[in-house]
Amino acid sequence: MDLNALLTSAGINIGISVALISLYSILRKQPCNLSVYFGRKIASERVRRLDPLCFDRFVPSPSWIVKAWETSEEEIMFIGGMDALVFLRILVFSIRIFSIAAIICLFLVLPVNYYGKEMPHKQIPTASLEVFSIGNVKEGSKWFWAHCLALYVISFSACILLYFEYKSISKMRLGHIIESTPKPSQFTVLVRGIPRLSGKSYSDTLTKFFANYYASSYLSHQMVYRSGTVLKLMSDTEKMIKSGCCGGSVNAFKILSSEETVKENVKEIARFADLGVASRYNECPAAFVFFKTRYAAFIVSQVLQSSNPRLWVTKLAPEKNDLLWSNLCLPYRQLWLRKIAILIAAIVFMFVFLIPVTVVQGLTQLEQLAQALPFLRGFLNKKFINQLVTGYLPSVILMLFLYTVPPTMMLFSTVEGYVSHSGRKKSACLKVLCFNIWNVFFVNVLSGSIINQLNAFSSVRDIPAILARAVPTQASFFMTYVLTSGWASLSCELIQIFPLFCNMVKKFILRIKEDSPNNLTFPYHTEVPRVLVFGLLGFTCSIMAPLILPFLLIYFILGNLVYRNQILHVYESKYDTGGQYWPVVHNATIFSLVLTQIIALGVFGIKRSPVAFGFTIPLVILTLLFNEYCRQRFYPTFKQIAAQVLIEMDRRDEICGRMEEIFQQLHSAYCQFALTSPDSCKAGNINEGDHKIQDPEAINPCVKLET
């Protein structure tokens, strides 16, 4: 690929991005799009809808950029939670490290690459991108000290920034935990694998166990039930109550039908209760156990409860909004089989994905494509078509195929058995990250002749040499991938194409005027892997092909503004992991650094530069030692909470006299059959250890039904 093809791709993506961003600045001013671009505010605040017809509504403006830039970290924490702040810190870290890399590589490494061989250079626009890569430096050149120096500067800068980020985020996480209001999940343990004793229900067995071994700290418990039918009936009842009895413009026939349906559903729920829906035959071997202090709950969640590790399995419970109720009743003994099956399915999916990646790489090598398809030779020889096919089309096709990966991995994580939405999303994030690193980087590097490459080495020692030969030649594809999957995807994220289309159908075809929030949560499982893969490409190509660095810097700067805006206005924060994504970021960055250093070893070996080769080996060792230090120093604070912190929080609540209020909240905190709010559990007279619907009229206090 020559520079003209790269500029063609850049021009197309710049045009698309500018057009979509300008369109967004107009669409966001239209009152009919309030639910699309201000969904979080509709869900959490009272937003008054104004419809002034003025010229300013139809003129693009950068006001959203100014607002996003001025937003402080405290506001981000308050609005989006700890995870949102951590995600933005990933982008800030990337801006800092790649600014350093761009300065040293563009002014030191790039000239060395360009003049690495004594050869006549073409005009820069028509020059091949390979003359800007390390492959253009002749063997045995004394100028490889520049690449080695740049690698040292980038590696040390990345490690220093990682250290301070890890330290800062650990401190913020601790402050977030200490300063947060008391949450039921802090006093609650999710118990799974409860054994069945003859003649006793799971509830009786659990009461006997915890009253015996944790008599001083055990408070009460809440069983989990197989309640698909009941929940469906209650969901239908709630919808009817809201539409027919609590407001809304409906006709008399619809109100009458709704009231009768409500009565039938409530009677059906009462009938299920009389038949013993919440009896021992419908109990799951899982329960929420409440304790008197946070410290007691934490100790129980960490201790092995039985000599059989598959029985009485305990962990701190997620928040109720975070619970994935459908997975709570899965037998614990079955989970390891599910994990193995999902691992096999994910590996198969990764290898099936080799087909589109190989097709994409075929488009970057037009000579081979023309030989395989001779009838396209004349068409492909046209200059603009050549630049379009080699510079733009491959990355677009790959990006379209990659859109199928996140939902597939989310499905895999659901089947795997995670009991919380946040846990499922984090698991899907790790799967998508591994998938993208393999398919976007390794497969693209080795595709086209992957079988020959695999036959070319007989030991692991040959892998650095293979990567060293392949990475510089594929750098041009990675540049176009950053342009397409980076710049264009950010503008699409900003304009929210699918929600905008759905809103237009709702407003102009179905004629529904009410503004209702989209209830979107931030897609960490897609965006965190995307940013980390771009970081991998930046590190590995920094000294190999420095031209990629300006494109990456623009992506990270624009991404910081776009995602700040989306967190402020679009996405609703329903659950939070407390910053658990940062260890993933740290490990992925260390992997990228070590991989870059290994590839550099291969390059220095191929180019016969023993000095640069020798100086790079200690760098790999130092990076691994730094990672081990961070793993010992910071990672435990993300995995567990210090006993000192928990005890101080318990003492603070006891001094303030809040413990009794907290205990009262625990009784209804995990109400499985609640319709509108946890308070309806109290209204329905649901016991501490059992969920029995005893009063149909108490299901919703705003409705009085005739029985």
pLDDT tens digits along 56-101: 777 888 889 999 999 999 999 999 999 999 999 999 999 999 999 9
Do both 374 and 424 map to the same domain? yes
Is position 328 within any domain?
A: no
pLDDT for res 619: 96
Q: Are 384 and 4 in contact (CB under 8 A)?
A: no
> pTM to 2 decimals?
0.83
User: Does residue 16 lie in a domain region?
Assistant: no
Same domain, 374 and 520: yes
Contact 412, 338 (CB under 8 A): no
Please indicate, yes or no, whether residues 418 and 288 belong to a single structural domain of this protein. no
Amino acid letter for position 381 = N
Q: 31 lies in a domain?
A: no
Question: Residue 203's domain is classified under what CATH number?
Answer: 3.30.70.330
Q: What percent of the chain has pLDDT over 70?
A: 76
Residue 491 placed within a domain: yes
Residue 514 and residue 493 in one domain: yes
DSSP string, 32-89: GGHHHHSHHHHHHS---------GGGGS---HHHHHHHH--HHHHHHHHHHHHHHHHH
Structure token digits, residue 186 = 């802090």
The verdict on 489 and 356 lying in the same domain is yes
Is residue 109 in a domain? Answer: yes
Best CA proximity match to 506, nearest among 53, 34, 48: 34
Closest CA to 706 of 283, 264, 404, 163: 264
- Write the pLDDT tens digit of every residue in 340-381: 999 999 999 988 888 877 776 655 555 555 555 565 556 555
What lies within 8 Å, CB to CB, of 552 at 6+ separation is 94, 98, 482, 486, 534, 537, 538
Neighbours of 268 (CB within 10 A): 17
Indicate whether 599 belongs to any domain. yes
Structure-derived torsion over alpha carbons of residues 410, 416, 419, 422, reported in degrees to the nearest 10? -30
| Residue numbers of the domain that contains 295 | 184-237+281-318+654-675
Residues 613-668: pLDDT tens digits?
Answer: 999 999 999 999 999 999 999 999 998 889 999 999 999 999 998 898 899 888 88
Whether 420 and 291 map to the same domain: the answer is no
CA proximity to 450, closest of 442, 461, 440: 442
**pLDDT band at residue 120 under the 50/70/90 scheme:** low
Contact 691, 276 (CB under 8 A): no
Element (H, E) at 671: none
Distances (CA, A) of 16 to 7, 11, 90, 484, 540: 14, 9, 26, 10, 28
Instruction: Tell me how far the alpha carbon of residue 256 is from its chain's centroid.
Output: 45
Residue whose C-alpha is closest to residue 150's, from 203, 111, 188, 206: 111
> Is 247 part of a structural domain of the chain?
no
The answer to whether residues 471 and 540 touch, using CB atoms and an 8 Å cutoff, is yes
Instruction: Tell me the two tokens of residue 440.
Output: 């976007």
Counting the structural domains of the chain, the total is 2
State whether 300 and 445 are in the same domain.
no
The closest of 21, 12, 10, 7 to 490, measured between CA atoms, is 21
Do residue 232 and residue 340 come from a single domain?
A: no
Domain co-membership, 469 together with 580: yes
One domain, residues 564 and 611: yes
601/480 same-domain check? yes
pLDDT for the residue numbered 225: 87
What number of CA atoms fall less than 13 Å from residue 89's CA on the CB side?
26
Q: By CB neighbour count within 10 A (0-12 exposed, 13-18 middle, 19+ buried), where does 204 fall? A: middle
Tokens representing residue 362 in the block: 């075929």
Whether residues 147 and 286 share a domain: the answer is no
Residue 307 in domain: yes
Q: What is the pLDDT of residue 238?
A: 57
**Distance, CA of 209 to CA of 306 (rounded, Å):** 11
Q: Which two tokens stand for residue 524?
A: 């960490």
